[in-house]
Structure 1
Amino acid sequence: MMKKNRFTLGPAILVTAAFIGPGTVITATLAGANYGYSLLWALLFSIIATIILQEMSARLGIVTRQGLGENIRTSCKNPMIRGVAVMLVVSAIVIGNAAYQGGNISGASLGLQNIFSSSTTLGSISIWPIIIGMIAFTILITGSYKIIERALIALVGLMSLAFLVTFIITKPDIGQFFSGLLIPSLPDGAALTVIALIGTTVVPYNLFLHSASVSEKWHNIEDIGKAKQDLYFSIPLGGLISIAIVSTAASAFFGHQVNISSAADIAPALQPLFGDFAGFFIALGLFCAGISSAVTAPLAAAYALNGILNLKQQLNTLAFKSIWGSILLLGIIISTSGYKPINVIWFAQVANGILLPIVAIFLLWVMNTDALKQYKNTLGQNILASMVILITLMLSTRSLMSAFGLL
């Protein structure tokens, strides 16, 4: 007899590679350094919310053989609504990814700089961002989904090892760890950090990336089971990495007079406290986080824009390559310009958290159209998705009020 639903890693590992980037590292580190273990619950919520939304995205891609972008465009019969949807995708996903890409490449460069204890320059320009850009370009230019997937599986595996080893070395307080994970609390001034943690995990562009990439990997309705297995392994793995980073920062920096203002400060700050190994592994993790996101961010932008504009969704087409190439080039320019992207990344993540409910509402709407046939959302799935959207809306409102000094 043939084996059915044999477990295999797939597109969900791209989602993990996408949301564990330098922005996640710095956001999670600042959360742990400033608030200890008390915001771990936000990551637990984010993992559950990601699974709920990405399951819908994967089902959509397999059943319709189209990504979220195409489904939004074809489902929007009203030209005005379709125009708004196109503007939303182009501005929030594509332009936002360009800003993120600068942070991804800068973060990977900082990781290499800390590993080799060298800031190699070509004139006044650091050589590391160019090398990172060339690595990402080499992976993407193959036009092969299998090669891209395997490269990201290797990077996520190495990243997981690096951050989990650092977590063990710093010996977190287990009691406070579980208290922060299971008992929600919101310390003074933590509202924006909570929304940033959610925004860096439940990423809107991943809904486009996942729905499009599952159609590259799987071609039959029966593969929905494989997609779910992939999802239930890959997303919790990514969440575990984020939780490990927050806990490492809580153990190492919370309550101590250690100034962490950028990703560059993390590895050097760990070395005096826990030795060279801790600094090396956090630098290795930062490199893997940066390079994996440097591949997935341009890929997601290409999928999203090609889908919403009704272009061919093929990795080896000129239009597809032009989009991811433009995002990659912008990222290299930003990262070599000397401009520090940390603040941009932070506010982009807050913006992601605010934009998430809007994109999730589009997804929920599409999941209840006739395009899904008998694979439409069930009542239970609609309730869970609506709860996620409602909670993210409440958090978004609170973060906006906090940002404008109304709280």
Structure 2
Amino acid sequence: MTTRRRFSMGPAALVAAAFIGPGTVVTASLAGANYGYALMWALVFSVLATMILQEMSARLGVVTQQGLGENIRAAIKQPWVRQLVVLLIFAAVVIGNSVYQGGNISGARMGLADLVPFDGQYIPVLLGGLAGVILWQGSYKLVEKVLIGLVLLMSVAFLATFILTQPDWAALFAGLLVPSVPTGSILMVVALIGTTVVPYNLFLHASSCAEKWHSPEQLDEARQDIYISIPLGGLISLAIVATAASAFFGKALTIEGAADLGQALQPLFGDAATTFMALGLFAAGLSSSLTAPLASAYALSGVLGYSNSLKDKKFRTIWLAILSIGVVVASLGLKPIEVIIFAQVANGILLPFIAVFLVWVCNQPRLGKHRNSWQQNILGIIVCFIAVGLGARSIAAAFGWL
């Protein structure tokens, strides 16, 4: 007699927590405010693309018991190529996340400002300190539980706000099922996909799956986690788009960011909508403040051959440096445009490279019967083409060509 395993959220929830950050909240809000429900299909598409890549990443981690960074290091034999890849990962993941970490902490601060009667320059330090204390414990299980809790908080907060704004259900389902690209919206379509399909999540997922599961027989659990958690993250993004569409599209109101959305909801839908939006933004900022340093540490430790133990000194040094830079950026209100542009260019190059590498390594003999099927390869190649387009857009936007 076999016992049926009870499902529990796991590493894929970390991925959802990572891609639902303040940047995603802003992008989704602007998509809804400017184009209504018309671009919701793009999020559905991005969730499917993310699930394809994250399944490969999870399978790689569980079968090889190594993260993506370690697999890259093992697969690339030429020293100069390996050094080039290390430099690219450092530029895109480590430097990029250092800068974006400031936005994560600022987002959490904006949400907190609407929930408590005080705000000040010390709030980023407190939020950074909270994230640091959680990561310093060196317990994957603790990090996982905290992030699952934040994902569930985001789900309740953003879905409650969505319900309060009373969406147009006919327009919503049309936007989900009928792809359309309104005039001037192509860059927003790319942005919506780009906020969900991100390279550092592939490092985060492979390493966290290797931490949680230790046998290929557990792959079904890893896949079940993906099929639940990633769509849940997509549902949160959809709720944000629909909220902005209900509140702003076709009306004499404009927003420039997530904070504007929360404040403008109050006169339209009451204090409850503002509170739920603030809770969601706080959870989104704090969750990304945990996952960005963690993913960077996994990525760089892997390609450099360091230990990926959360208690290892070098591992801690990497995430602590990124977290500290984020606190400084958020506290001083800095906008290091040149560094952000550099990170965008590096990220634009890294995303297609990592996507192609992932498909390639998942066809290697070392995976045995767990290598990609022909169906998985076709889907992976399609996503790789998308990654190339996203990368080209990121580079073009960074240089002002768009």
Tell me the TM-score normalised to structure 2 length: 0.94
Alignment length (residue pairs) = 402
Percent of residue pairs identical: 59
Q: Distance in 1 between matches of 2:67 and 2:393?
A: 32
**Which residue of structure 2 aligns with residue 75 of structure 1?**
75
Shift of residue 369, structure 1, vs aligned partner:
1.6
Q: Distance in 1 between matches of 2:301 and 2:42?
A: 33
**Which residue of structure 2 aligns with residue 252 of structure 1?**
247
Shift of residue 29, structure 1, vs aligned partner:
0.4
Asked if the contact 1:23/1:345 (under 8 Å) is kept, the reply is: no
Deviations 1:158-206 (A, max 9, x none): 1100000000001111111111112222222222222221111111100
Asked if the contact 2:92/2:343 (under 8 Å) is kept, the reply is: no
Deviations 1:14-73 (A, max 9, x none): 001111111110110011111111111110011000100000000000000000011011
184-193 or 286-295, larger mean C-alpha shift: 184-193
Tell me the TM-score normalised to structure 1 length: 0.93
Structure 2 SS opposite 1:201: coil
391-400 or 83-92, larger mean C-alpha shift: 391-400
Which amino acid in 2 is paired with 1:138? Answer: V
Structure 2 counterparts to residues 202-241 of structure 1, below 5 A: 202-241=197-236
Shift of residue 116, structure 1, vs aligned partner:
1.5
Structure 2 SS opposite 1:116: coil
Q: Distance in 2 between matches of 1:11 and 1:31?
A: 28
- Note closer, same or farther for the CA distance 1:344–1:118 as it changes in structure 2 (3 Å cut): farther
Deviations 1:123-147 (A, max 9, x none): xxx1211111111011101100111
Asked if the contact 1:21/1:293 (under 8 Å) is kept, the reply is: yes
Shift of residue 362, structure 1, vs aligned partner:
1.4
Structure 1 SS opposite 2:115: helix
Matched, 1:142 2:137: yes
Deviations 1:180-236 (A, max 9, x none): 112222222222222221111111100000000111111111110100011100000
Matched, 1:318 2:322: no
**Which residue of structure 2 aligns with residue 383 of structure 1?**
378
**Which residue of structure 1 aligns with residue 6 of structure 2?**
6
Q: Distance in 1 between matches of 2:115 and 2:48?
A: 34
Asked if the contact 2:341/2:398 (under 8 Å) is kept, the reply is: no
Structure 2 SS opposite 1:77: coil
Matched, 1:272 2:272: no
Q: Distance in 2 between matches of 1:201 and 1:99?
A: 18
Asked if the contact 2:96/2:340 (under 8 Å) is kept, the reply is: no
Deviations 1:263-302 (A, max 9, x none): 3212111111111110110000000001011011100000
Shift of residue 355, structure 1, vs aligned partner:
4.0
Q: Distance in 1 between matches of 2:391 and 2:401?
A: 13
Q: Distance in 2 between matches of 1:380 and 1:192?
A: 30
Structure 1 SS opposite 2:182: coil
Asked if the contact 1:105/1:132 (under 8 Å) is kept, the reply is: yes
- Over aligned residue pairs, what C-alpha RMSD do you find? 2.2
Which amino acid in 2 is paired with 1:330? Answer: I
**Which residue of structure 1 aligns with residue 103 of structure 2?**
103
- Note closer, same or farther for the CA distance 1:250–1:354 as it changes in structure 2 (3 Å cut): farther
Asked if the contact 2:200/2:299 (under 8 Å) is kept, the reply is: yes
Q: Distance in 2 between matches of 1:176 and 1:85?
A: 45
Q: Distance in 2 between matches of 1:191 and 1:47?
A: 18
Unaligned runs of 5+ in 2: none
**Which residue of structure 2 aligns with residue 152 of structure 1?**
147
**Which residue of structure 2 aligns with residue 193 of structure 1?**
188
Unaligned runs of 5+ in 1: none
